[in-house]
Amino acid sequence: MVSIEDASTGMDCVTYGRLAPRCECGWFPCLAFTVNYTPKRATLARGTYWNPTRASSYLCQSAWRRRKFAGKREPNQTSRLERSKIRCSAIDWSDLFHQETVVYEESTPLCVVQVPTSPIPGQKTGTSGIRKRTREVTQTPNFFENWFQSLFDVLVERYGRTCLNRATLVVGGDGREGNQAALRTLLRIAAANSLQRLIVLGPDAIATTPAISAAIRAAGALGGIALTASHNPGGVDGDWGVKYNMENGGPAPDSFTSLIYERTLTISRYLEVEASDPEALCGRDGFDGVNFKRIQTVHRFRILPEGARDALQSPNPDRLPHSDGGRTFEIHLVDATATYVELMEGIFHFERLRALLRLPNFNMVYDAMYGSTGPFAFMIFGEKLGYWEYPWFRRGQYLPDFGGVHPEPNLENLADLVAEFFSDEDSPDFGAASDADGDRYLILGRKFVVQPSDSLAIMLDYALRPDFAAYCRFDGGLIRGVARSMPTSSAVDVVASRHNIRCYETPTGWKYFCNLLDAGLVSLCGEESCGAGGAHIREKDGLWAILFWLSILAYHNLQVAPGSKSTSVEDIVRAHWAHYGRNYYERWDFHGIERTTAERWMRNLERSVEGGEILSLRIDGPQLYAADVFHYQDPVDGSWARNQGVRLFFSSDRRMRAVLRLSGTSSADATLRVYLEKYVAPNDGDVQAVGELASSFVADIGRAALLYCGIVSELGRERPDLRA
């Protein structure tokens, strides 16, 4: 907490709120609060606090806040007084708070108890966290408890319990079914395992994965927990997921998640808290009184050590096991949008974006797919950019089952939106969509769809233009390098090579980009699965990518003379192809393969590739020139990620290739993904190929890959379930 002292009265306070610039060494207006302890069962707090919007007047208000379990009473203002100066002795994570913050001192102590448990199979982290069927998770006793306790055991081993006593964690999620139960379990486990502070992004712990990453970095937190299965379906019959992000805001690396998994295999007990008074109105675990819809509040709990409950129920309850009477655990309910929106305002020139959206011949549509991006998009496009043209905002309410929609932004799941853009009527100029947790995106133009790999290459091209800095302040104006996942097309490689920029190729999973970003080796990263991001956070960021594309459109259309033709999304992409060439690209998904069968087939394929047997095969169609199994060594820490997919090359210049890998984000059966790519140089007539789909250029590569790898003969699959 920030310790401050009132210069006129010497009163010690606790501060929250947005601070003035350069407040480390001077005087500043702030939001201050003091707490009075109250009798048992009455949750009462008294204090003085500042309203940042009236900071210049230095007006302070004093109020009583009383809340019982059954209801609330609005504060009654008792006095106003002028204060001249407040001195700050330390700056902490106050920028997370942008409104008045109220502190509730919870009067019923909570006691740590130990509960026996046993290992639960299958709690292993995949490409990005755990993905399980919701029914399996909610109907398996102690599933949440085992994983969260294993996480805290690893945190204690890594950082020490003393560090955890001073640490902050951030939690948020995409609002899917099972998250509220998981959040309640996390509160009990975190309070019992010596954590000092848990920041719950909200309301209702609803936050995008990029916002969670931003909050971790802004708060200087030890890490964060994202309750999300990303783009997987939600609801009772859908998927549930969780992942841990490190102190840099990025997904935990394999070396960390493997420790969690090993702990889940041997766990025998977990720690949780219970109310010291079994009749307390705060509920059995003490958290019934926390209203997660009410942001900008702090709930402070007194945590007593193991054995304290028995001591309190003894004839002499004042004799506790420890003389200090326990420790403090705080829950901070924070506006999820505030830090993230401010971060976007610092990257993009909102005045120019506002001017673009005001153009009479420009209109846009955004589809949140009932995910967590709804409040963020509404705040950015509506409140900040002033775009209220109806009906630009689609499916903006977040729902636990995402309205029965599969919240992955692709052509199949967005069929209605795509049809609107391809209709013969006057369709919108720009369309975008995000997935459930806001880290993926899709860009649409009038009768045009932007392929994610092309989008990454176009972003790099514009980020390298000096005059584009007036629209997007990209990583301080310095492009250090770029990185893409191995299955992503090499379109960005062409741009990077043309500008002498280093391009890194990593396995699938954003965690592999984080070391490169932290080391300052790259400024832009992207994946074929609709993911892109910069150095501002350590996650892919769908809204950031959408704002980037709007900035590209503003770059072209705000400089157009009146009456001239405006530049469309299609114009931008086709100009890029004409200059750099085109990478025809398509992904084939084979769903519902029995996992054991799929893993055995992949091992056999890897042996065939590494032993060279596959090169001796002859088929009708493109002939295989080279093949390898992709292994990756991190250039920063030297760690290895092995067996990350098989690559087949059908030309000596590697311009025709197929990549095969098993998806790590499926919750049940395995999904085989086959990525097909063919590069056409700018002087080739096929580069524009108006009206031609990519599938017509890569179909022969796909058929050859099926035959070479035994997908037809061994897996019995002749055609994909999805082409993307």
Same domain (yes/no): 633, 534: no
Among 15-24, 101-110, 326-335, 474-483, name the one with the lowest average pLDDT: 15-24
Mean pLDDT of 275-296: 83
HSE at residue 661, side-chain half, CA atoms within 13 A, is 25
- What residues contact residue 150 under an 8 Å CB cut-off, 6+ apart? 123, 260, 261, 263, 264, 267
The answer to the question of residue 342 being in a domain is: no
**Rounded-to-integer distance, Cα 483 and Cα 509, Å:** 12
| CATH code of the domain covering residue 719 | 3.30.310.50
Task: For residue range 315-341, list pLDDT tens digits in order.
Answer: 565 555 444 568 999 999 999 999 999
Among 227-231, 368-372, 691-695, name the one with the lowest average pLDDT: 691-695
Same domain (yes/no): 310, 361: no
**Rounded-to-integer distance, Cα 286 and Cα 301, Å:** 9
The answer to the question of residue 138 being in a domain is: yes
| Residue 607, domain extent | 583-723
Residue 2 predicted with pLDDT over 80: no
Same domain (yes/no): 267, 372: no
Mean pLDDT of 154-170: 94
Residue 688 predicted with pLDDT over 60: no
Residue 286 predicted with pLDDT over 90: no
Q: Assign 718 a pLDDT band (cuts: 50, 70, 90).
A: confident
Same domain (yes/no): 412, 495: yes
The answer to the question of residue 341 being in a domain is: no
| CATH code of the domain covering residue 241 | 3.40.120.10
pLDDT at 683: 79
Mean pLDDT of 480-503: 97
With a pLDDT cut of 90, the percent of the chain lying above it is 68
pLDDT at 548: 98
Among 336, 356, 376, give the residue marking a domain's end.
Answer: 336
pLDDT at 92: 36
Task: For residue range 558-597, list pLDDT tens digits in order.
Answer: 988 777 889 999 999 999 999 999 999 999 999 989 999 9
Residue 662 predicted with pLDDT over 80: yes
pLDDT at 36: 29
Same domain (yes/no): 122, 139: yes
Task: Report yes or no: 221 and 167 within 8 Å, Cβ to Cβ.
Answer: yes
- Report the side by side order of strands in the sheet with 31-33: 31-33, 12-16, 3-6, 86-88
- DSSP helix/strand/coil, 191: helix
Task: Report yes or no: 580 and 574 within 8 Å, Cβ to Cβ.
Answer: no
Active-site residue, from 150, 194, 230, 608: 230
Task: Indicate the average pLDDT of the chain.
Answer: 83
Q: Tell me how far CA of residue 274 lies from CA of 41, 67, 108, 180, 286, in angstroms.
A: 15, 20, 10, 18, 6
Same domain (yes/no): 76, 192: no
pLDDT at 70: 31
Q: Tell me how far CA of residue 441 lies from CA of 181, 247, 257, 349, 532, in angstroms.
A: 28, 25, 27, 21, 8
pLDDT at 686: 62
Q: Is 178 exposed, middle or buried (0-12, 13-18, 19+ CB in 10 A)?
A: buried
Residue 669 predicted with pLDDT over 90: no
Residue 523 predicted with pLDDT over 80: yes
pLDDT at 311: 60
Q: Assign 17 a pLDDT band (cuts: 50, 70, 90).
A: very low
Return the DSSP state at 251.
B
Return the DSSP state at 383.
I
Mean pLDDT of 146-158: 97
The answer to the question of residue 287 being in a domain is: yes
Task: For residue range 429-473, list pLDDT tens digits in order.
Answer: 999 999 999 999 999 999 999 999 999 999 999 999 999 999 998
230 is catalytic: yes
Please state whether the peptide bond connecting residue 391 to the residue before it is cis, i.e. omega within 30 degrees of 0.
yes
pLDDT at 314: 60
Which comes out higher in pLDDT, residue 55 or 285? 285
Mean pLDDT of 167-179: 97
Same domain (yes/no): 224, 154: yes
Residue 184 predicted with pLDDT over 50: yes
Same domain (yes/no): 482, 620: no
**Rounded-to-integer distance, Cα 285 and Cα 305, Å:** 15
Same domain (yes/no): 621, 597: yes
Mean pLDDT of 676-686: 84
Same domain (yes/no): 319, 396: no
Which comes out higher in pLDDT, residue 474 or 76? 474
Task: For residue range 379-417, list pLDDT tens digits in order.
Answer: 999 999 999 986 899 999 999 999 999 999 999 999 999
Residue 669 in tokens: 């059966």
Mean pLDDT of 260-265: 96
With a pLDDT cut of 70, the percent of the chain lying above it is 81
Which comes out higher in pLDDT, residue 25 or 449? 449
Among 560, 580, 600, give the residue marking a domain's end.
Answer: 580
Among 306, 336, 366, give the residue marking a domain's end.
Answer: 336
**Per-residue burial over 24-48, b = 16 or more CB atoms within 10 Å of its CB, e = otherwise:** eeeebbbbbbbbeeeeeeebbbbbb
Task: For residue range 76-123, list pLDDT tens digits in order.
Answer: 322 222 222 222 222 233 444 445 678 988 878 999 999 999 999 989
Same domain (yes/no): 429, 306: no
Same domain (yes/no): 301, 356: no
Please state whether the peptide bond connecting residue 203 to the residue before it is cis, i.e. omega within 30 degrees of 0.
yes
pLDDT at 310: 64
Ranges of H-type helices in 266-401: 308-312, 336-347, 350-357, 374-377
pLDDT at 315: 59
The answer to the question of residue 41 being in a domain is: yes
* Domains: count for the chain: 4
